[in-house]
Structure 1
């Protein structure tokens, strides 16, 4: 098993809306950090899959129509995986569309994601949300 596998599985599960499969890619003690000034960074760090589900994924579902996180490139650094990609979606509050670049840094141990750090276009996201 490659350390790329749980990262690929996370993106695939998120894209299909399969939250149980997304959470299954995470270690029980995952530490998840959203980018500073990102709308969901207010509760950083999120510790554990349930915290990520309720604090990030559920809030995204409430704020966006057609939200996607697409990894355009994965860089294998052993136990550190870097994903370069983009978010897209339309704000439910404003109707404005968003396309924003991201870099995700994943830490993988024993076949599970145990750390996540997001870097993202916070301004583009805030504008779409009307904040």
Structure 2
């Protein structure tokens, strides 16, 4: 039974990342619980809104700002790691270009996901915040 839950959780996170790769925001939001608690990494400019609670807060406070500030913002080299209980760890890289100054970003990232009953209930980002800040202030 445990392997079945782990596989379901990985499939949900894969669906979310596939949505990012195609720009399918409704698909991304459909993976989230209505009371999801989302934390950007401390030191990340977007952390000023922590915690973002609910899909609308994440859409407006995180995704919209990323789109406003970046010419492109891609996720690459995504590897999913099944953790304990309802946890999934994703290791990946951000590949982005800022609109305001053309700075390129190639940052190491980890996303820690918590799921319950087939929905994402929590997210914690870990990222090279110095690189993000340097790119914003270039």
TM-score interval w.r.t. the shorter chain?
A: over 0.9
Q: May I ask how many residue pairs the two structures share in their alignment?
A: 131
C-alpha distance in 2 between matches for 1:69 and 1:57: 13
More helix per residue: 1 or 2?
2
Aligned-residue RMSD, C-alpha: 1.2
- 1:7 equivalent in structure 2: 13
Question: By how many angstroms is 1:71 displaced?
Answer: 4.9
Map Cα deviations across residues 43-63 of structure 1 (whole Å, 9 max, x no partner). 000000000000000000001
Q: 1:120 aligns with which of 116, 120, 127?
A: 127
C-alpha deviation, 1:70, in angstroms: 2.6
SS of alignment partner, residue 45 of structure 2: coil
How do residues 90-129 of structure 1 correspond to structure 2 at under 5 angstroms?
Answer: 90-129=97-136
Aligned partners of 1:6 and 1:57: how far apart in 2? 19
> Which runs of no fewer than 5 residues in structure 2 stay unpaired?
1-6
Deviation sequence 1:16-45 (CA, Å, 0-9, x none): 111111100100100000000102110000
Cα distance between partner residues in 2 of 1:72 and 1:9: 12
- Following superposition of structure 1 onto structure 2, how do residues 2-81 of structure 1 map, counting pairs within 5 Å? 2-77=8-83, 78-81=85-88
Give the TM-score normalised by the residue count of structure 1.
Answer: 0.95
TM-score by length of 2: 0.91
* Displacement over 3 Å in runs of 4+: none
